[in-house]
Chain A
Amino acid sequence: MRPSRVGKTLIIALKKDFVIASRYPFELFGSFIASVLMVSLIVLATRPFVPKAQAYPPDFILSVSWGGFLLLLSSSPLFELSVSLRQEKINGTLEQIFLSPSPKLPLLLGRALRSQILSILYGTCYLASAAFLLGGLQFNDLPKGIYYLLLGIPVFYGLGLVVMATTFNIREIMPVATLLQIGVAFLSGILLPFNLMPYSLRLLATLVPTSYSIDLFRSAISGTRPQLLSWMETGQAYLIESLLAHFIALALPLAGMLAFNATVRRAKRRGGLQQG
């Protein structure tokens, strides 16, 4: 499969999905409102735990601001990939996609990528609202943080592909996708930093592929040591987490693509692509 063909197909799919998205204007603008409301809810939810007339602790501000941003960013690959596949089945267009000689994954990724681009905008709106409500945005080493964030994106997509492959025939995908999104967000340190998690959960988090890039991102933003492998020395923890994050960023998308191709082949052998 030539990269230029993959790229061209991706652009065609992205264009199509943006045109469709533009036909839901309320949804496009409503999501900005939703991101403002989201941060308001989190701030209000934690207000009863702050003594009267006191401000929020700085590490809390850091965690909530960037945590929400990460949550919005990670939702596209985890949630949208499986849901968009289901949507194509419901629309009856999944078989049409597979009837084209173009690469199939880029055609299915179009919607998730469109959602990703929009979620960056919504995330930015979220950050701005958080900064307003919590009294400022905190970050230490932003360029390094962005690097680790970008490293995490292929990991999320790889995981999303594996999930898409596994849930290919599940009819009611919404509860599964939502639970997964929340579960991964929880265990990856998106919603809660690792140092707040019970030890048993932190051990479990080491098995979640997205945890490493998220922990390195948090570490860069907050200027603290990595929290996931907290029993190791700082230098050692950095090295191991960095190696693992890079390796997973390469391996997981590949594994996801292989899993997806195997699932499609299995579907063609069994009931067909529209089944389920």
Chain B
Amino acid sequence: MLRRAIPCIVSEMRLEYVHMLRYKEWILAALLYPVIFASLPIFLGTWIASGAEEAARIFAENVGTEAYSIFLLIGANMWFFMMTALWDFGLKLRREQASGVIEAVYLSAGNLTWPLMGSGLFGALQCLLRFVASMIIGSILYGTLRYILSPRFLVCLFILAVGLVGIYGFSFLIGSLVLRLKEAFSLLVIFQMLFGILMGVFYPVSLLPYGLAFVSYFLPMTIALNDMRAALLSTQYVYNILIDSVIMICQSLLYLLAGFVVLKRSERKIRKGVGLASF
């Protein structure tokens, strides 16, 4: 199985790399989007609090750290990665379905799992690099470079790497739904908003009503986001870094497995029905 899987995965990663080079505008856009996303709550927050100092004070009271711009930048980046993973899988599958390439891919690879895995791996690597670049740009803009230059940033990166596994596994689940429902765009917009709310992209999850907060901890990104902030800004971990890491790894593996299983079932069901390329 590995002998079949590895060339598929590597080829898909190479394909994604070529695609990335063909659409160079996206590289720049991907670095700027998180900074732009974070800017809105930063501006609005500063306005509500009537100034940066007061905003830092109130934020520290509510959240536990004065460094609201870094707090929001991390959230914006994670949100962007979530969105990218969702869109990459959802739209990729849909686009290949519409153009008819999906059948060719399925016939060559033997299934859709390995190509998607390759796509996911490349996406995850990209995310890691983009995170570093985007955080540097945002930190320069908001004068918070000292956080990025500290060793804690490496811990933050490690947590991100673990969290990304879960994000992509979760995206497989969503991608399978897209294959079935075919209306990718609106479904993905709703998911991206919903996850933004549940993940605590711009606020700590503790601000949510108890029921929602409980549900949000089941999402792979929530703990990762919380712990990345905890590592960099000394806010609270969910439990502690060790237990949180174990939970994250288990969640990530579970989501990855669930994603593969659901994708395989969807693939089989569609093949029994109208076929993969049914537009």
Contact = CB atoms under 8 A, between A and B. Distances in A.
Q: Do A and B contact each other directly (Cβ–Cβ < 8 Å)?
A: yes
B183 A24 contact: yes
B203 interface: yes
Contact of A48 (B30, B32, B63, B186): B63
A178 interface: yes
Interface stretch (A2-10, A27-35, A203-211, A214-222): A27-35
Interface stretch (A52-60, A104-112, A125-133, A156-164): A52-60
Given A27-B186, A46-B44, A60-B48, A175 B58 contact: no
Contact of B203 (A44, A57, A196): A44
Contacts of A137: none
A46 B45 contact: yes
Contacts of B49: 49-50
Given A175-B26, A175-B29, A196-B43, A52 B61 contact: yes
A186 B43 CA distance: 11
A133 B41 CA distance: 17
Contacts of A56: 48
A172 B25 contact: yes
A51 B203 contact: no
Contacts of A179: 29, 32-33
A118 to B, nearest CB: 12
Nearest to B91: A174
Given A41-B193, A60-B47, A34 B186 contact: yes
Given A49-B55, A175-B29, A179-B29, A37 B194 contact: yes
Contacts of B125: none
A209 to B, nearest CB: 21
B137 to A, nearest CB: 15
Contacts of B23: 171-172, 175
Nearest to A57: B48
B178 to A, nearest CB: 11
Closest 3 CB pairs of A and B: A45-B202, A30-B186, A49-B45
Given A51-B61, A176-B25, A37 B48 contact: no
B59 A37 contact: no
Interface in B164-222: 181, 183, 185-187, 189-190, 193-194, 196-197, 201-204, 207-208
B62 interface: yes
Given A172-B26, A192-B43, A192-B44, A45 B203 contact: yes
A231 interface: no
A170 B190 CA distance: 28
Nearest to A30: B186
Contacts of B181: 26
B43 A37 contact: no
A251 interface: no
B45 A48 contact: yes
Interface in B207-242: 207-208
A197 to B, nearest CB: 8
Contacts of A26: 181, 183, 186-187
Interface of B: 22-23, 25-26, 29-30, 32-33, 36, 39-41, 43-49, 55, 58-59, 61-63, 68, 72, 181, 183, 185-187, 189-190, 193-194, 196-197, 201-204, 207-208
Contacts of A245: none
26 contacts: A34-B186, A37-B193, A37-B196, A41-B197, A41-B201, A45-B201, A45-B202, A47-B207, A48-B58, A48-B62, A48-B68, A48-B204, A49-B45, A49-B59, A52-B62, A56-B48, A57-B48, A64-B44, A170-B25, A171-B23, A175-B26, A179-B33, A182-B36, A186-B39, A192-B43, A196-B47
A182 B41 CA distance: 14
Contacts of A57: 48
A192 to B, nearest CB: 5
Given A60-B48, A175-B29, A46 B41 contact: yes
B192 to A, nearest CB: 9
A274 interface: no
Given A34-B189, A45-B44, A45-B202, A40 B55 contact: no
A20 interface: no
Contacts of A45: 40-41, 44-45, 72, 201-203
B186 to A, nearest CB: 4
Contacts of B44: 42, 45-46, 49, 60, 63-64, 192
Contact of B189 (A30, A47, A48, A176): A30
Nearest to A195: B47
Given A52-B61, A56-B48, 20 more contacts: A30-B183, A33-B190, A34-B190, A37-B193, A41-B197, A44-B203, A44-B207, A45-B45, A45-B201, A49-B55, A50-B48, A57-B48, A60-B44, A170-B25, A172-B25, A175-B29, A176-B29, A186-B39, A191-B40, A192-B43
